[in-house]
Amino acid sequence: MNKQLLLNWLKETNPQRLKKLWQSADETRKKNVGDEVHLRGLLEISNYCVRECTYCGINSAQTKIERYRMAETEIIECVQKAVNFGYGTVVIQGGEDYGLTTECIANIVQKIKHKTSLAVTLSLGERPFKDLRIWRKAGADRYLLRFETSDYKLYKVIHPQSTKTNRDRFVILKELEQLSYEVGSGIMIGIPGQSYASLANDIYLFGEMDLDMVGVGPYIPHPNTPLGSRQITFDINSQDQVPNTEEMTYKVVALTRLVCPQANIPSTTALASLNKINGRELGLTRGANVVMPNITSPIYRTKYEIYPNKACLNETAEQCQNCIHARISMLGRTIGNGHGNRKR
């Protein structure tokens, strides 16, 4: 699909034609990755962060939140839940927190790989090549790092150069590929200043980069951030600005499936936060094949507030597990077994 076609779809408003897009994405999903929905247990291990991402509620300038960093024993306890629930993967996510040392993450990865048969995905920000290499050696299978937007100017505005360790995310994604991780990236939809043309380019790049995993979700303003409180403004024509709506999110999920037929694509929590009734299900029937149930204990979960009004915020891992199982079986889909690696 070329950029012009992607752009046309992003601007499409005709319900009949959009129905065709949903159908086409759903068929492509079924043909390439089947009816299995893979579950990845998401563990939010730390909300400390050195970055000042202007959209994110846990950025380092944020003084109103209480910071936490889970101890290794707590992490291993939560990982055991993923095993008990039959999940094939655990996703270890956090702020870019150098208090999570190279060695401490390597030890945790090694322990999980030794004690369980889970695939391990890391999502810990723009860490140096050395860390990525050591963690891969320790057994980590996958790494998630969204490039957020391919519009370089917008990227600079929403990611102030706060520390010397800022790295180019596209370079890191290449490094991850060289280290033979399964590589995941993605974007937010409807960030202020995001144009339709740049969003079409983002989706085009997903295909060019041949990503193994692609996560896309709506931008949700956090009132205590520079972007959410409108301290930063953009001079963009209102017709060019992408809205951060539910429908736009489905368009991006569906188009992502069409450009990356074999990729693992989650129906994200941010999408479920916009439509708590059936956002997850609609994502799954418009291109997605993965769900990431949260396995973080409620005491920490509420503190990992990257955006407000998150779906499932006060639920326990057990509640998330039951709810997600029920939603998937209602769709007539099955729960995936094993690691659920990228199909080739």
Binding site for ligand SAH (CB under 6 A): 55-56, 93, 95-96, 123, 125, 145-146, 148, 188, 217, 219-220, 222, 270, 306-307
Q: How far is the CB of 3 from ligand SAH (least distance, A)?
A: 22
**Tokens (6 digits) for 194:** 């995001």
At residue 342, what are phi and psi to the nearest 5 degrees?
A: -60, 135
Question: 226 vs 336, which CB is nearer to ligand SAH?
Answer: 226
Cα–Cα nearest to 256, from 4, 19, 28: 28
Question: 217 vs 287, which CB is nearer to ligand SAH?
Answer: 217
Separation between Cα atoms, residue 17 and residue 29, nearest integer Å: 19
Q: How far is the CB of 14 from ligand SAH (least distance, A)?
A: 28
CB 267 within 8 A of CB 275: no
Separation between Cα atoms, residue 292 and residue 336, nearest integer Å: 12
Q: CA 323 → CA 267, 276, 319, distances in Å?
A: 14, 12, 6
Separation between Cα atoms, residue 148 and residue 75, nearest integer Å: 27
- Specify the DSSP element, H or E, that contains 273: helix 269-274
Q: How far is the CB of 124 from ligand SAH (least distance, A)?
A: 6
Question: 173 vs 270, which CB is nearer to ligand SAH?
Answer: 270
Question: 87 vs 219, which CB is nearer to ligand SAH?
Answer: 219
Q: How far is the CB of 313 from ligand SAH (least distance, A)?
A: 14
Q: How far is the CB of 133 from ligand SAH (least distance, A)?
A: 18
Question: 125 vs 226, which CB is nearer to ligand SAH?
Answer: 125
